[in-house]
Every structure is written in structure tokens, then in C-alpha cells.
Amino acid sequence: MTNAMKIPAQHAQTEDDNLSALFDGELDDPGARAILKDLSRDPERCRRLAEYALIGDSLRGLNRDAPHLTTRVMAALEQEPTVLAPMARPRDRRPALWLAAATVAAITWGLWSVSPRQDAPAAPMAAAPGQAGNVLPYLEAHQDFAQAVVAPSEMQFTRVNLAGVGQ
């Protein structure tokens, strides 16, 4: 989701790349038209497009009802009438794509800007014995409100750096 130059569809390496690029609004007009044309004839690719949408939803915490989505997409395609009218110019479509892309980018940025930045190396580490001992009282105290109590050994910890946040 950047202002990167649009890539022709034929340069994309795989079909998945094409679908991903389409969803991100990164294809040029002929490329987008070609993918959309294929899409209406290829249920499998439409299913993958649905998955890309779900991934986007997941990133925004909106991922729901995944098992039914493909069915609905397929049903919608089956009911689609054959369109004989001339195609509208791609320019009519693309602003909507850019808008969607920009919205996702803004949400991603909004989350990223307040997220703790992980120091390098930032590989998760199991709770060290001392650390586990430090965490246990909090886990126990929270159990008055929690639905489950986990042992400190079930927790994984990562050092993070609160860059840009006043402490």
C-alpha cells in the first residue's frame, strides 16, 4: 500500500501475486481488467481473493465468518448475469481501489505508530525462573477477573522498546 509504480499483470510472478496486487490496487489498468475478467470465470481464484480480503480484515480485527464467505462469493458469481454492456473505463473503478488501499494503510499506520518497537534481537524468550516469579503474583491476582489462570511457564516474553512514547 504505497505509491509504488503500478506493475503490469504479466510481470507478476504468480497468480497469487496478481490477486494480491489487485487487492492492493497495485496493478495497471490492463492488468486489473485481465484479472477481473479471469476472476469471473474462475471460482478458485475468487476464493483466494476472498482469503485476501479476510487477511485484510484480520489485520483490522474484523475477520469473521470465514467459513461462509467463500460460499457467498461463489453464490454471487453463479447469479451474476452475463454483462454485455461496454466496460466502464478503469479510471471509474480505480479510485475506489486506491481509497480502500489508503484506508488499510492508515489503519495499519495508526496501529504501528503506537506499537512498541521490538529491539533487535527480539526473538521471544521463555520466562526465566526469576521472571516467572515476578509475573506469578500478577497472574494470580488477575484471576479474580480472568476466565483462565495460566502458569508463568505458559507465557512467552519479548523485550520491547517504547520508542517515541513519553515515559
Residues that bind other proteins (CB under 8 A): 33, 36-37, 39-40, 46, 49-50, 53, 58, 60-69, 72-73, 75-77, 79-81, 83, 87-88, 93, 111, 114-116, 124, 127, 131, 135-142, 144-148, 150, 154-162, 165-167
30: preceding bond cis by omega (within 30 degrees): no
H/E element, 94 = helix 90-114
Nearer to other proteins among residue 7 and residue 136 (C-beta): 136
Nearer to other proteins among residue 11 and residue 64 (C-beta): 64
Kindly state the cell numbers that stand for 143: 484471576
Q: What span, in angstroms and rounded, lies between the C-alpha atoms of 19 and 55?
A: 13
Long-range contacts of 53-60 (CB under 8 A, 24+ apart): 53/23, 56/23, 56/104, 59/104, 59/107, 59/108, 60/104, 60/107
CB 35, min distance to other proteins, A: 9
CB 66, min distance to other proteins, A: 7
Nearer to other proteins among residue 7 and residue 139 (C-beta): 139
Nearer to other proteins among residue 103 and residue 156 (C-beta): 156
Nearer to other proteins among residue 6 and residue 33 (C-beta): 33
Q: What span, in angstroms and rounded, lies between the C-alpha atoms of 18 and 46?
A: 12
CB 1, min distance to other proteins, A: 17
CB 160, min distance to other proteins, A: 5
Residue 106 CB contacts under 8 Å (≥ 6 apart), including other chains: none
